[in-house]
Amino acid sequence: MVVGEFTTDVDTLIIGAGPGGYVAAIRAAQLGQTVTLVDKDELGGVCLNRGCIPSKALISAAHRYEIAKHSDEMGISAKEVSVDFSKVQVWKDGVVKKLTGGVGTLMKANKVQVIKGEALFVSPNEVRVYKGYESDRLRFKNCIIATGSRPIELKAFPFGKRILSSTEALSLQEIPKSMVVIGGGYIGIELGQMYAKFGTKVTVLEGAGSILPGFDSEITKWVDRRLKKAGIEVHTTAFAQSAEQTDNDVTVTFKVGEEEKQVTAEYVLVTVGRVPNTNDFGLDIAGVKLNERNYIEVDDQCRTNVPGIYAIGDIVPGLALAHKASYEAKVAAEAISGLPSKIDYLCIPSVVFSDPEIANVGLTETQAKEQGIEVVTGRTSYGANGRALALNDAEGFVKIVARKDDGRVIGAQIVGAEASNLIAEFCIAIETHVVLEDIALSIHAHPTLGEMAMEAADAALGQSAH
């Protein structure tokens, strides 16, 4: 319905079409809301277009290439294995296109109106959407903000031809001869290992005392070992100072303690974190409050301080994870419909698609003890698992953490092949208050990687058969 000359009334307005925004749109539509979705870029947001999906596609291709070159011990020798990286990129783009196209189909199926444009709040219940030289005014009953985040750009390392963010690093048309990765967190390690497998000489600079800060050293040491095996040079407690660029390369000056060092490479990839997209679209005009780090504070139903305005995903405090955004999306959409849904962060898995993969959920043994919780733990090795040995990928372990008094599972850590898939069983266990006996007494198929969950539970109960 058109009100006045320029303003259109909408029911539920969603700003941002990433894994938070488009999931919110679908859930809101399922609940009978009339939904309008606005995004200045492509459906799927960073995750589908410039993050999760394209990076995992390239990581998968690199893994296939590595296997093709190094299967001699299995009696398989491939001669003259080569990479056409431009074709790899075409394949990756095809994967992205299938998924973003699928999101578009879902929008149509759920009767979600999609507007490509840039939203700017002009009041607490109205936005102007800019589409080139034209604009529309939309007045909403409820609004879910899901604008995501962007890579941090360091002042001394401005993004350009030779200094890249993860976005540009995923779109290179040729395999670099060399690359310096500033930041040894999950993005830096994933992309650094991926390019190293394709033949790039990679140097990683990490400011913390170890790579993948935030994960236990008993896990990260397995990845560190693979980095060294791949010829990746890692400097910890290393702080990048400056960059000197030419047309063909970049020389990075960095410090390790008081010692100044330099490394020259074709490209520099900066992966030191992300910042929320909460600026430049009128949140102050709408009256939405930000905290000191420019995140939007929300309650347990994703409501901001302004009635009718909700916020989800990377723009609210907490982990910047696509699956967290999708979870919050459902809560916000349901809250608008009057359902008693509330956010509960008891169980958010963290996954790194490194080599080997890492997955963590709930509390580690150290975290539990810091909280005064007495625990029992069980651990089983990939090296004792028949399926892992048959895959020729038997490095790593599965560890389960449970309360000592009642055996309730409160955490799990995995490092090894398919950790990203194996962690799901432990997510369900924590979420549904499962105890060790429940997992130990559940018959797991053999031979599978999944039976390591049962073995870990058996170990925690002191009754391991292996």
Q: What residues are labeled active site?
A: 446
Beta bridge partners of 78: none
CA distance 392 to 269: 32
Dihedral sign for Cα 401, 389, 192, 45, please.
negative
Given a contact cutoff of 8 angstroms between Cβ atoms, the answer to whether 453 and 434 are in contact is no
- In our burial notation (b when 16+ CB lie closer than 10 A, e otherwise), range 436-456 reads beebbeeebeeebbbbbbbbb
Of all helices (H) and strands (E), which one includes residue 87?
A: helix 85-109
Token pair for 247: 């047309």
- Tokens encoding 434: 């499962």
Q: CA–CA separation, 129 vs 267, rounded Å? A: 37
Terminal-residue alpha carbon distance, the chain: 68
Closest CA to 329 of 297, 299, 300, 302: 302
CA–CA gap between residue 208 and residue 301 (Å, rounded): 35
Identify whether the C-beta of residue 281 lies closer than 8 Å to the C-beta of residue 120. yes
Q: Which helix (H) or strand (E) holds 54?
A: helix 52-69
Could you give phi then psi for residue 130, rounded to 5 degrees? Answer: -90, 130
80, 25 in Cβ contact below 8 A? no
Q: Quote the CA–CA distance of 428 and 409 in Å, as a whole number.
A: 10
Whole-number Å distance between alpha carbons of 384 and 464: 12
State the amino acid at position 349 in one-letter form.
P
Q: Which residues pair with 120 in a beta bridge?
A: 128
Q: What is the 3-state secondary structure (H, E, C) of 385-416?
A: CHHHHHCCCCCCEEEEEEECCCCEEEEEEEEC
> What is the spatial distance between Cα 271 and Cα 403, in angstroms, rounded to a whole number?
37
Asked if 290 and 283 count as a contact pair (C-beta separation under 8 A), the reply is: yes
Query: Whose CA is closest to 310, among 291, 336, 344, 290?
Result: 336
Residue tagged 């200045």 (tokens): 40
Q: How far apart are CA 47 and CA 37, in angstroms?
A: 17
What is the CB-side half-sphere exposure of residue 379 using CA atoms within 13 A?
Answer: 14
Q: For residue 11, give the H/E element and its range.
A: strand 7-15
